[in-house]
């Protein structure tokens, strides 16, 4: 299973390293490797969250995520989007922005001799806008999760009271707006722009997540209707009820029921699948913003960034996502999802703070790793304790923490 899932990641990595070497020699190859490792190590929480969403999608949309999605991740989020940001921030058209990126000032200076700002400087100057948008989108994701009641709790002292508080309508929106107002008024130099960008992030989350939920609910209603029809047909075939379907073929109906049919776990298709896919892509963008800007601490070459962060990093993150789904890792290690969401909450907080205070990207990455690692260890301890009592971890509610 490992090879079948990660095969294309290995192939893409090999090709990317060759291209990097041909493009810029040994130094470009080394930088590409560093960026790839950085993206993979800092994006494990992204993979866990992706897996929780991907397992709700049909096989078709899972394949779209691995094919079309990777193109969007590499060229859209890691190459085109930074160019668009520079275009909007500096008034340069995309071609001029790309030329600026490919021809930085000598010695890594922030400005050219004629006073023009470098591509890196323009992108860094746009960080408050990016951070407000991405931070609010991720904060809405975290709050929407933490304000919901669930069977398993990890940090119970926090999660249970917050779940009770979530019974208040629109609690996630209320908290997000308060955070955005405080940050825009205290940390932002351009409060109006930051406020607008943050509101866009909130609105986009509500729109994409809401539409996905709406179409999923409609699909589940259709499946429930089909289940009812099967039940009635089975009842008629058994002689207990023939009024609703007197012509039902008992063998055909029973065969459909045994095969699972509509009684299996509903996975999103059609419009529901599309909006879940769109949700994943926006989520990936929110995760990648900070990584792209942080990559400039290593290199300002957009081609190397696209190869390292995009082709190598993003491909491995996607393969890891599929691996988690196919192996059922989230069901076995029940606290991983919790750790990933708390890591997202921490990332959202860091993005908002970074609007006015520089935060080293290493801190961001270490926090995510710490939450995921702690959640994994808690899951292992839970599973050992349950197995020692002769219980199956997959079917037993989480112990209190």
Per-residue pLDDT of the chain (401 residues; tens, 9 = 90+): 667 788 888 898 999 999 999 998 998 899 888 888 877 776 777 788 888 888 888 888 888 887 788 778 767 777 777 777 777 766 777 788 778 777 777 666 777 766 677 777 887 788 888 889 888 988 998 999 999 988 788 988 999 999 999 888 889 999 999 999 999 999 988 899 999 999 998 998 888 777 766 665 655 555 555 445 545 554 554 555 544 444 444 444 443 433 333 333 446 667 777 878 887 887 777 777 666 766 766 776 778 888 888 788 878 888 888 888 888 788 888 898 898 889 889 888 988 998 888 877 667 767 878 888 899 999 999 889 888 888 777 666 544 44
pLDDT number for residue 275 = 78
Helix (H, G, I), strand (E, B) or coil at 57: strand
pTM of the model: 0.74
From CA 157, how far away is CA 312, in angstroms rounded? Answer: 39
Nearest 10 degrees: CA dihedral of 134, 137, 143, 146? -90
From CA 5, how far away is CA 7, in angstroms rounded? Answer: 6
Q: Are 52 and 329 in contact (CB under 8 A)?
A: no
- Provide the 10 A C-beta neighbour count for residue 259: 9
- Cβ burial, residue 233 (10 Å; 0-12/13-18/19+): buried
**Helix and strand totals (H; E) in the chain:** 17, 0
């Amino acid at each position: 299973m490992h090879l079948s899932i990660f095969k294309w990641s290995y192939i893409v990595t090999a090709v990317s390293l060759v291209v990097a070497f041909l493009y810029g020699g040994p130094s470009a190859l080394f930088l590409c490797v560093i960026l790839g490792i950085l993206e993979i190590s800092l994006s494990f929480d992204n993979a866990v969250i992706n897996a929780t969403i991907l397992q709700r999608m049909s096989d078709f949309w899972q394949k779209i995520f691995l094919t079309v999605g990777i193109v969007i991740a590499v060229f859209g989020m890691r190459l085109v989007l930074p160019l668009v940001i520079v275009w909007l921030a500096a008034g340069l058209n995309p071609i001029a922005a790309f030329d600026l990126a490919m021809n930085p000032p000598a010695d890594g200076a922030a400005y050219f001799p004629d006073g023009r700002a470098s591509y890196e400087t323009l992108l860094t100057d746009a960080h408050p806008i990016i951070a407000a948008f991405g931070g609010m989108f991720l904060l809405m994701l975290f709050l929407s999760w933490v304000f919901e009641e669930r069977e398993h709790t990890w940090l119970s002292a926090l999660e249970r009271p917050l779940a009770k508080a979530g019974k208040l309508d629109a609690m996630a929106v209320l908290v997000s707006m308060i955070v955005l107002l405080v940050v825009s008024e205290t940390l932002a130099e351009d409060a109006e722009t930051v406020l607008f960008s943050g509101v866009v992030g909130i609105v986009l989350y509500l729109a994409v997540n809401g539409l996905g939920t709406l179409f999923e609910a409609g699909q589940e209603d259709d499946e429930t209707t089909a289940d009812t029809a099967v039940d009635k047909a089975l009842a008629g075939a058994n002689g207990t009820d023939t009024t609703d379907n007197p012509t039902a073929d008992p063998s055909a109906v029973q065969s459909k029921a045994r095969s699972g049919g509509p009684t299996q776990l509903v996975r999103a298709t059609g419009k529901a699948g599309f909006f879940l896919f769109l949700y994943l892509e926006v989520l990936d963008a929110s995760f990648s913003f900070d990584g792209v800007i942080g990559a400039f601490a290593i290199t300002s070459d957009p081609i190397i960034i696209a190869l390292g962060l995009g082709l190598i990093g993003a491909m491995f993150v996607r393969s890891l996502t599929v691996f988690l789904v196919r192996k059922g890792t989230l069901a076995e290690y029940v606290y991983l999802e919790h750790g990933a969401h708390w890591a997202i909450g921490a990332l959202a907080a860091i993005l908002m703070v970074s609007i006015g205070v520089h935060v080293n990207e290493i801190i961001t990455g270490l926090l995510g790793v710490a939450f995921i690692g702690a959640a994994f260890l808690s899951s292992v301890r839970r599973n050992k304790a349950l197995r020692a009592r002769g219980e199956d971890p997959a079917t037993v509610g989480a112990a209190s923490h």
